[in-house]
């Protein structure tokens, strides 16, 4: 008879509980590790999102070409906003924009019926004053002759003399009033103060006008035979600016034509915000190519220079003066004060404060501060612009 096989041993409840606990611990450990990894990744992504990304260029050494090209504004030699000098309404306007006029030429006629009535009344009062003054003079003369014959008292003769003086003063007052109103009547003819061209007209028939500059000008007149050109020269180049210095003007509409100009004066002061000095030039305009308000480019002889060139968008202008945002190898931002040289509108020369090869933020955000951390992305387009 074969032996009876042994019965399998059953796991005790205690052993089963231990196994379940170990399994749960393993699951919790794996879950915690996964959460920690996710938290670390989230922190990394959040940190990268909080760090601004900026485009940078390398500051390039400037190369001199002997010419300082700067943007400029063209203005007329003389400009006058012509307003009404008396109250009334526009009866006629005789010139329009683009018309050339001579000094003293009538531009418009104003009707002033109230002024006409005042002038007629003043002239009548003047005639009355003339008659009363003559009567007072005759009376005073008669009483003086009677006084010589002791026919009247000295007191009575003095009273007649006083009446004559009073009437003479009234006569002068009425004469002055008539002259004033006649002058206002003369202002009903709007005339050109100098030779020039009409550049604007707001006068319309029937429009009410009043004396003074509170209302819009009826016309704007510009003397364009000679023109003034205003340009802002960087401080680094200002030492070479002097009256009589020859320059050239170029206009966008005439790119192949260089017009001569002469420096006439400068402000002899540097603007603290822009680091530039205002310079005025003069140019003859016999050709009529220069127009008031036009943009031009002025080419001035340049000083021998060094420095570096960066995009104009890299400049930070503020009360502290011009600054540039540079980035160190660690990604830390520094705001560097600089002195400016040439500025052609697209690129600007830094005469001092920045070395060639410096990493410059091409368009710094408004909120950027010194010490901030940034991520760098090279701006190839601006880097190409910075190369002269």
pLDDT reading at 121 higher than 60? yes
Q: Are residues 296 and 269 in the same domain?
A: yes
| Residue that is last in its domain, among 301, 333, 364 | 301
Predicted confidence (pLDDT) per residue in 174-228, tens digit:
999 999 999 989 999 999 999 999 999 999 999 999 988 888 899 999 999 999 9
Q: Check: pTM over 0.95? Answer yes or no.
A: no
241 inside domain: yes
Please, what is the average pLDDT of the chain?
A: 84
Interval 125-149: pLDDT, tens: 999 999 999 999 999 999 898 888 8
Q: Is residue 311 part of a domain?
A: yes
Mean pLDDT, rounded, for 279-299: 94
Number of domains the chain contains: 3
Statement to judge: residues 183 and 123 lie in one domain: yes
Beta strands in 271-379 (DSSP E): 276-284, 295-301, 308-311, 315-316, 323-327, 333-337, 339-343, 347-352, 359-361, 375-378
pLDDT at position 373 over 80: yes
Per-residue pLDDT reduced to its tens digit, 315-341:
998 888 899 999 998 889 999 999 887
Token digits for 286? 């016999």
Q: How confident is the model at residue 11 (pLDDT cuts 50, 70, 90)?
A: very low
Last residue of a domain, one of 261, 286, 301: 301
Q: Confidence band (pLDDT; 50, 70, 90) for 382?
A: very low
Provide mean pLDDT across the span 261-272.
94
- Distances in Å between the alpha carbon of 144 and those of 1, 72, 351? 189, 78, 91
> Do 92 and 58 share a structural domain?
no
Same domain? 236 vs 278: yes
Quote the domain boundaries for residue 232.
69-76+223-301
**DSSP per-residue codes, 88-99:** EEEEEE---TT-
> Is 256 part of a structural domain of the chain?
yes
Predicted local confidence at residue 379, as pLDDT:
58
Residue 15 has pLDDT above 80, yes or no: no
């Amino acid at each position: 008879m074969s032996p009876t096989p042994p019965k399998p041993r059953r796991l005790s409840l205690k052993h089963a509980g231990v196994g379940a606990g170990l399994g749960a611990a393993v699951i919790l450990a794996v879950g915690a590790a996964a959460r920690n990894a996710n938290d670390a990744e989230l922190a990394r992504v959040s940190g990268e999102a909080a760090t601004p990304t900026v485009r940078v260029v390398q500051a390039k050494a400037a190369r001199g070409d002997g010419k300082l090209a700067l943007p400029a504004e063209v203005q007329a030699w003389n400009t006058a906003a012509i307003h009404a000098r008396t109250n009334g309404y526009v009866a006629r306007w005789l010139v329009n924009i683009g018309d050339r006029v001579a000094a003293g030429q009538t531009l418009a006629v104003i009707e002033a019926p109230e002024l006409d009535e005042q002038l007629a009344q003043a002239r009548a009062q003047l005639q009355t004053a003339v008659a009363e003054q003559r009567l007072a003079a005759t009376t005073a003369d008669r009483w003086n002759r009677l006084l010589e014959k002791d026919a009247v008292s000295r007191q009575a003769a003095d009273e007649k003399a006083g009446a004559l003086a009073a009437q003479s003063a009234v006569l002068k007052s009425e004469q002055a009033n008539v002259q004033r109103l006649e002058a206002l009547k003369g202002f009903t003819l709007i005339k050109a103060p100098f030779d020039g061209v009409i550049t604007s007209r707001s006068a319309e028939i029937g429009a009410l006008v009043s004396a003074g500059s509170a209302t819009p000008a009826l016309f704007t007149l510009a003397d364009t035979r000679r023109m003034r050109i205003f340009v802002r020269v960087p401080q680094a180049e200002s030492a070479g600016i002097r009256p009589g210095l020859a320059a050239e003007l170029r206009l966008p509409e005439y790119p192949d034509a260089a017009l001569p100009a002469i420096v006439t004066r400068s402000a002899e002061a540097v603007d603290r915000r822009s680091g530039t000095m205002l310079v005025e030039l003069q140019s003859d305009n016999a050709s009529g190519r220069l127009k008031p308000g036009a943009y031009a480019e002025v080419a001035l002889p340049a000083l021998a220079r060094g420095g570096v060139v960066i995009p104009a968008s890299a400049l930070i202008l503020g009360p502290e003066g011009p600054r540039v945002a540079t980035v160190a190898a660690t990604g830390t931002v520094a705001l560097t004060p600089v002195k400016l040289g040439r500025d052609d509108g697209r690129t600007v020369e830094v005469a001092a404060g920045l070395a060639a090869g410096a990493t410059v933020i091409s368009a710094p955000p408004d909120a950027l501060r010194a010490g901030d951390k940034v991520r760098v992305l090279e701006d190839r387009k601006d880097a190409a612009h910075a190369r002269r």
